[in-house]
Chains A and B, each alone.
Chain A
Amino acid sequence: MNEDYLWDKTGEADPEVERLERALSNLRYRRPVTPLPLPASLPRPFRRNFSPALAIAATLVILLLAGGLWFALQRTKDSQWNPIASGPPPTTGPVDTTGGSVVKNVDEQLIPSPTPQSSPTTTTSTTSPHRINRSSPNQQQRLALASATSNAKRRQREQQIRGEEAKAQLIMALHIASDKLNTVQKKIQGNQGRGPIS
């Protein structure tokens, strides 16, 4: 078998391939006399250049909106939360049940620290031998803990509510931006689609 002849019709002709070629040439393509009935409207050139520009514009708009929204939210948050932020930190110490106010470092107030090196913020009063027990220390601790926990929970709830509000605002802003982009895209497509497209 002459492989070159089968591949590119060069070299010595292969008799069997030649015989098949002759026989099958009757079936060969012949261009019809009538021209191809193409539609009257020609395909319009497909312009893709607007897509990257539109995508960049859309990204910029979304970024600007998101940035503006974030900035506004930050400002609102700062103005509302300043008192809380600058106020005393949440206390975990025992509570003076007589006055109802929070008392920090009961040991410090009652008994001076035995050594100057010891930390002044130490609050573990239950182990001090010099401590004066005015009421049950366990009860005081429980009350303090309950109060601190409820405070923390309240703050957490408030933060959660504000977070939800911010999220809803952000989603609304994104919806608006998306609607505007859709409108722009429809306008662009409308301008392109005015010509006849087959």
Chain B
Amino acid sequence: MGEIGTAGNLLLMTGASRTTAAAAQPAMERSPEALLVEEVLRGDRDAFGRLYDLYGPMVHGILLARVPFDEVDDLVQDVFLTAFKRIQTLREAGAFGGWLAMIARNRAVDFHRRKKETEELPEDLARPHSVDPEAAEALALIRTLPEAYRETLVLRLVEGMTGPEIAERTGLTPASVRVNLHRGMKQLREKLGMESGL
């Protein structure tokens, strides 16, 4: 939330000289993300860089919940490049988060489809080698959960986002995020209990 506020303030400070007093009032009512999107549409590349900073963790989390850890960084870049190329098709600037989340989910689906078309990788290759085994194990357990719970839990536990932040960035309702978090955590606890029992 702090990042968003800072970006919004920066944007308002830099954009103040370019906007008239009449236009400034409705502009202040819009979200900082929407203003950044509008800046991008006006041709400001730096504004897209700020969106990259703001939404990087969300895209990373969505992909991490679906694809092998080693592939995530490349796919994050792919998702942002796709978003940059298609940003003209975004009808409502305020819906950027949900739109970007959908691109990320589609990219993950596309990754698995292409992988199937080429060749099936062995399971051990999909496990992150360069990370802590405990983290890899916890992530593997989270990935066994239903998709909605898995994504929300990764955003909360891995990316460190709070529930309201997850709702704001992904475009989901806070109630949905809350339910996903609690049900997902409950299932994860059960699985962790089973693991430790074994």
Partners in one complex: yes
Q: Does B149 contact A (CB under 8 A)?
A: no
Contact A35 B49 (CB under 8 A): yes
Do the beta carbons of B49 and A44 come within 8 Å of each other? no
Assuming A16-B189, A23-B135, A44-B43, is B85 touching A198 (CB within 8 A)? Answer: yes
Please count the residue pairs between chain A and chain B whose beta carbons lie under 8 angstroms apart in the complex.
101
A112 at the interface (CB under 8 A from B): no
Binds B, one of A4-12, A62-70, A180-188: A4-12
A28 & B162 in contact (Cβ 8 Å cutoff): no
Chain A residue with Cβ nearest B90: A46
A residues 5-28 in Cβ contact with B at 8 Å: 6-9, 16-17, 20-21, 23-28
Task: Say yes or no: A20 contacts B131, CB within 8 Å.
Answer: no
- Sorting the interface of chain B by its residue count into under 10, 10 to 19, 20 to 34 or 35 or more gives 35 or more
Cβ of B80 under 8 Å from chain A: yes
Residues of B within 8 A of A23 (CB): 132, 134-135, 138
Determine whether the beta carbon of B43 is less than 8 Å from that of A45.
yes
Residues on A with C-beta less than 8 A from B84 are 36, 38-39, 43, 198
Cβ contacts A to B, 17 pairs, < 8 Å: A1-B185, A1-B189, A6-B185, A7-B162, A17-B157, A21-B157, A23-B132, A23-B134, A25-B158, A26-B132, A28-B159, A32-B73, A36-B77, A36-B84, A38-B84, A42-B43, A45-B43
Further contacts, 19 of them, CB under 8 A, given A7-B178, A24-B135, A28-B158: A3-B182, A6-B156, A6-B182, A7-B163, A20-B138, A23-B135, A24-B138, A25-B135, A26-B131, A27-B64, A27-B131, A27-B139, A29-B159, A36-B48, A37-B81, A43-B40, A44-B88, A45-B41, A46-B41
